[in-house]
Amino acid sequence: MLQNFLSTHQDLLWVLVVVADLSTALILYRVFGKMGLYTVVILDVMLSNLQGPKLTVILGMETSLGVILYSGIYFATDLLSEKYGRREGQRAVLLGFVASVAMILFIYLSLLFLPSQVPNHAEFSNNIHEAMKTLFGFTPLFVFGSLFAYLVSQSFDVWIFHYIKKETGGKHLWLRNNVSTLSSQILDTILYAVVVWAPVVGLRDALYLASAKYIFKVIIALIDTIFIYWACTWNLSKTDWQESFNVHNNENQDNDLFMDAWLGKTPLWKVFWIYNIFFGVVLFGALTAIIVLMSSIASTLILILIIALGGPYIAWVLISIWRCANKSHIVYKTLTKLWVIFFILGLVIMAISSIYS
């Protein structure tokens, strides 16, 4: 009876799922502290990727089902950023990215196994195999689009959240929570629509789906403001007992060369010429070798490996260069930031041209 009721009240079901998702995040945070929020990010990333291709109609608008749980990721990263700092928010984003890559990679590998042909189980095994191919048959387009949109938009969300917090002196939590979420959601929605949906359903329908998705994201962002204010009043010092250890070892952590570059503490020349140019050439050569050696393997698997190996490093280098440039001479600062902007634009143009070619 409950199933029949919800099948005829889809709008109510949507509201219940949104509240359930945010409530789950609160419970995990209350019980496990920031580790619970890491869990929320990873869980929602994987579930939204699985539910993303499913289209449904809510409030009279066609939209992707993945928008419900995907929006919960912004709530978790904003709460992490507010309570534990920018570093923890960005760490959660990267954890979600790695989890997505690992999930896609291992699911794809599982599809390479042939179904059992033992007479008593052959029909069942074939049915399950075909069902898994339908559900998990990721295309290179979907893999690149979802991972690219996630990493760019979530990193922007963490950055703009702390920028607003700094400019407002830590006041107006509602402002930075909503502005960071809504602005990064615009970025995510446009990237996903252009890269993933436009080649499948056409640009016009893709923009329609994007506009509908964004409306739901706005509603969810307004709802989660209440939850984040509630969560920020909790004192979870006992739950996060390990933080006392980290505080005593903070000086050792600051000596990490990757973190120094990420925080803008490394000289610009070192980040640009050594980490970017030299190691970039080494990484590009290694990826080229992988493509040559694995040319007989499906293109989807090659793309996953390239994104998994090169994507995080490129993102780290570009962000590090941008931040390290802030402490350099105005000429070097300007030239370097222009180089970063044109480099990113070049990557986007190449990706779009390869998709539509």
Long-range CB pairs of 330-337 (<8 Å, 24+ gap) are: 332/268, 336/268, 336/272
Spell out where the chain has E strands: 55-58, 61-64
> Angle at which helices 330-356 and 299-325 pack, to 10 degrees?
160
Q: How far apart, in Å, do the first and last CA atoms of the chain sit? A: 50
The secondary structure of 229-285 as a DSSP string is HHHHT---TTTTTTHHHHHHTHHHHHT-HHHHHHTT-S-HHIIIIIIIIIHHHHHHH
For residues 29 and 231, is the Cβ–Cβ distance under 8 A? yes
Q: Which amino acid is at 13?
A: L
**Residue 21 CB: number of other CB atoms within 10 A?**
22
What pLDDT, on the 0 to 100 scale, is given for residue 248? 43
DSSP letter assigned to residue 194: I
What pLDDT, on the 0 to 100 scale, is given for residue 307? 58
Whole-number Å distance between alpha carbons of 111 and 130: 9
Helix (H, G, I), strand (E, B) or coil at 344: helix
- H/E element holding 23? helix 10-32
What pLDDT, on the 0 to 100 scale, is given for residue 245? 42
What pLDDT, on the 0 to 100 scale, is given for residue 38? 92
For residues 311 and 284, is the Cβ–Cβ distance under 8 A? no
What pLDDT, on the 0 to 100 scale, is given for residue 247? 42
Residue 77, φ and ψ in degrees, nearest 5: -70, -35
pLDDT beneath 50, residues of the chain: 243-255, 296-298
Whole-number Å distance between alpha carbons of 337 and 313: 18
Whole-number Å distance between alpha carbons of 233 and 226: 12
**Residue 114 CB: number of other CB atoms within 10 A?**
9
Residue 236, φ and ψ in degrees, nearest 5: -110, 35
What pLDDT, on the 0 to 100 scale, is given for residue 149? 81
For residues 168 and 329, is the Cβ–Cβ distance under 8 A? no
pTM of the model: 0.65
CA atoms within 13 A on the CB side of 306: 20
For residues 316 and 260, is the Cβ–Cβ distance under 8 A? no
Closest CA to 326 of 268, 258, 260: 268
